[in-house]
Structure 1
């Protein structure tokens, strides 16, 4: 069994280019990763990694050893998934990441329902608006919204979101309702992370630069400002669906509304989909509105 010691740590460092990131992936200390990899190099009598203060990279021998180790670990994963499939019950740890607001409102309640149905699965959920690298962070499943960047990840569309430009009745009574995109320059536009809004105009996508007295990186803050009559806001339906139903916010420029955006489940492409990931993706697709 000594020949296995340090292999997982070495592979994690090779795939993340960092002892710290490898330790985070494996859930152990950086010092432990360093000790295990050092012991592995001494046992093999081969330098596997170049170490500098800025970067960790593979030596030629390390690159060769990594390829073989990766194949062995993939085979072990396949064996464990095969056993799990035979048992018919998903089990083990499932790591998920999702956007904060969407995750709080939709993903977490469904995850909790999933755990009631599959008590043998432990789940670790990280809500963040950062684009987490699934491979480096050891994430099994990511929920992403909107257009996807090209990647080696597999993607399945599990729901959709709709963006609305809206305002309070009080704001519209005071400043009037815009009917064309050019009229946006005459209004106080409450901005999120970007200073432009997206629309469809005569079949083509357009990005319209907007300006206003508030820029805020949270949809809850923009919703509150719109409700208080501070200006127009462009927000996804999951922030304002109740406000639109009650009339607290009024949608405008509906004829320019962009097509519905996809809500996607992303997972690594390099291995077959494990039973617990497959079940979670199907569960989300069935439960999401």
Structure 2
């Protein structure tokens, strides 16, 4: 009897959740009622029941407008994820585990997301027409569990051991400068020469010590610094100085001759690019298939990105 009561409550809770999600997505109670083929009165009662049970207002509504509260927006993200997971579970049973469906929510650094990830996700979605993708390009490291993201692309070291991590590609770094700067100031030939050059410093916080693969570290100086790597790269393109950047960022500029790699015989440490996701997303086909796709496509680019190939760009 207790089990049956629990099942009944779960059924009511699920319908309340479904109604709430449809209200937000339709933008009105009447729109949700039409989509669900329910009366407006039933939809209104379901929303009131859900708010009463949770003890918070989920939606601010007037006679003309409807908008989720802060709590409502957060609850909607989690509910939409649950409904998408249920939809995907049905798809996996009926169509197999090689079909990605539902909503895939990702976050990645801005520059990498714009330059590399966005085009690949477009191609991936074309292979899975029933998949929806939301990409949050941000240099802020998100808490995936709290924010409801399925997947994050992260460059460099990882600090959260509670996440599943797969390396999708290596990140080679290089020091480069515009030909105009090198013509004016000369080309460094040793690590020690860097101390005599204008170096563009960037990072959070800006890093004024550059460490090489052999363990040597040198303090660099410069009059330009930024928290954003893209700004540092733009200064380098203007001839302002040397900049240490990921080869993923500067490859096109190096190939085109707008930047030249210096000190190619003194490699910098390679840092990995990881795909990370919560344990609760492990079985989701959309996450697994997306990560596999990114690994396949990005690793095709790795050989061309290696600093050893830089001579071929000049």
Report Cα offsets for 1:89-128 as digits up to 9, x if no partner: 3211110101101100111111111111111111111000
Distance 2:181 2:10 in 1: 70
Structure 1 position 238, deviation (Å): 2.4
Report Cα offsets for 1:51-97 as digits up to 9, x if no partner: xxxxxxxxxxxxxxxxxxxxxx99x9987654332223321111010
Distance 2:228 2:251 in 1: 16
> In the alignment, which of 196, 216, 219 is matched to residue 208 of structure 2?
196
> In the alignment, which of 180, 197, 209 is matched to residue 219 of structure 2?
209
Indicate the residue corresponding to 1:246 in structure 2. Answer: 256
Report Cα offsets for 1:4-31 as digits up to 9, x if no partner: 667999xxxxxxxxxxxxx9xx99xxxx
Structure 1 position 216, deviation (Å): 2.1
Bigger Rg over Cα: 2
> In the alignment, which of 102, 107, 110 is matched to residue 100 of structure 1?
110
Distance 2:47 2:269 in 1: 48
Q: 8 Å contact 1:7–1:37 — kept in the other structure?
A: no
Structure 1 position 41, deviation (Å): 6.8
Distance 1:172 1:190 in 2: 14
Indicate the residue corresponding to 1:156 in structure 2. Answer: 166
> In the alignment, which of 179, 182, 189 is matched to residue 189 of structure 2?
179
Distance 2:210 2:231 in 1: 20
Distance 1:207 1:275 in 2: 44
> In the alignment, which of 125, 136, 139 is matched to residue 115 of structure 1?
125
Equivalent residue pairs, number = 241
Q: Any stretches of 5+ residues in structure 2 without a counterpart?
A: 1-7, 26-45, 57-80, 302-314
TM-score, normalised to structure 2, is 0.66
Distance 1:209 1:33 in 2: 61
Q: How does 1:1-289 map to 2 (within 5 A)?
A: 1-2=8-9, 36=50, 39-40=53-54, 81-86=88-93, 87-88=95-96, 89-193=99-203, 194-200=206-212, 203-204=214-215, 206-288=216-298, 289=301
Q: 8 Å contact 1:6–1:37 — kept in the other structure?
A: no
Q: 8 Å contact 2:108–2:136 — kept in the other structure?
A: yes
Distance 2:293 2:217 in 1: 35
Range with greater deviation from structure 2 (241-250 or 77-86)? 77-86
RMSD: 3.5
Structure 1 position 160, deviation (Å): 2.1
TM-score, normalised to structure 1, is 0.71
Q: 8 Å contact 1:199–1:256 — kept in the other structure?
A: no
SS at structure 1 position matched to 2:282: coil
Distance 2:48 2:274 in 1: 37
Q: 8 Å contact 2:281–2:287 — kept in the other structure?
A: no
Greater per-residue helix proportion: 2
Distance 1:195 1:171 in 2: 21
